[in-house]
């Protein structure tokens, strides 16, 4: 109680004092552009994926906009040691994601390189994935995909370097006949997800769907 008084929870965007279990204040919540498109719909997200790899379904929770609330949320999740944001985003996602037309067999988050994981202390996708796994009763695997090369954050790379991801990922286990839901934080060029998707598709008679916290239009 004393810590709540001395260090109250504040809105991630405007810094107003808010309830301890909230992420943003009601006013900033209204500024978040949720996509409002279904997992199985022929959405903008799905069309972008289709240009890169065969995709079953695709879902983005929010639009990722410059100088907006969604960008602040993702930035704090990744770079300010606020892993618990993943739990809140998973709760927002669980209220909007409908698997009635194609429930996946396995949830797989995009991995960090071990060096990056040690530097950050956590993978920003793990808690998010685990909450969704529990909510939908779908198993997850944090170790199915291995990132082979250490590199600086995507946000710090120019566009050309973002497109250079050859041999970046590999599959660590034998998988076949599975519908894999790949999970990432932000869809930008889609190159990371495409690289992983092709590894999964090449590993056996598998299908791939995609879920991201936000899509950069």
**pLDDT tens figures, 9-34:** 999 999 999 998 899 999 999 999 99
What integer pLDDT is reported at residue 7 of this predicted model?
76
Could you give the maximum distance between any two Cα atoms of the chain, in Å? Answer: 56
Determine the length of the chain.
217
What integer pLDDT is reported at residue 158 of this predicted model?
53
What integer pLDDT is reported at residue 80 of this predicted model?
93
* All domains in the chain, ordered by first residue: 1-31 (no CATH), 33-215 (3.40.50)
Residues of the chain with pLDDT below 70 are 1-6, 152-166
Q: What is the pTM of this model?
A: 0.90
């Amino acid at each position: 109680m004393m810590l709540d008084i001395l260090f109250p929870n504040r809105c991630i965007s405007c810094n107003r004092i808010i309830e301890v279990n909230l992420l943003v204040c009601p006013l900033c919540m209204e500024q978040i552009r949720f996509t409002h498109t279904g997992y199985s719909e022929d959405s903008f997200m799905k069309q972008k994926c289709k240009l890169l790899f065969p995709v079953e379904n695709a879902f983005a929770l929010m639009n990722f906009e410059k100088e907006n609330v969604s960008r602040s949320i993702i930035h704090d999740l990744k770079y300010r040691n606020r892993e618990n944001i993943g739990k809140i985003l998973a709760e927002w996602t669980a209220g909007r994601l409908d698997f009635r037309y194609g429930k996946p067999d396995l949830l797989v988050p995009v991995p960090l390189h071990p060096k990056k994981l040690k530097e950050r202390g956590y993978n920003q996708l793990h808690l998010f994935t685990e909450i969704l796994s529990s909510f939908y009763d779908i198993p997850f695997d944090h170790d199915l995909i291995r990132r082979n090369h250490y590199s600086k954050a995507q946000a710090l790379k120019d566009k050309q370097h973002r497109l250079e991801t050859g041999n970046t990922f590999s599959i660590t286990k034998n998988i076949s006949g599975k519908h894999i839901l790949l999970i990432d934080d932000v869809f930008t060029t889609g190159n990371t997800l495409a690289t992983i998707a092709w590894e999964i598709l090449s590993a056996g008679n598998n299908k791939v769907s995609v879920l991201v916290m936000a899509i950069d239009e």
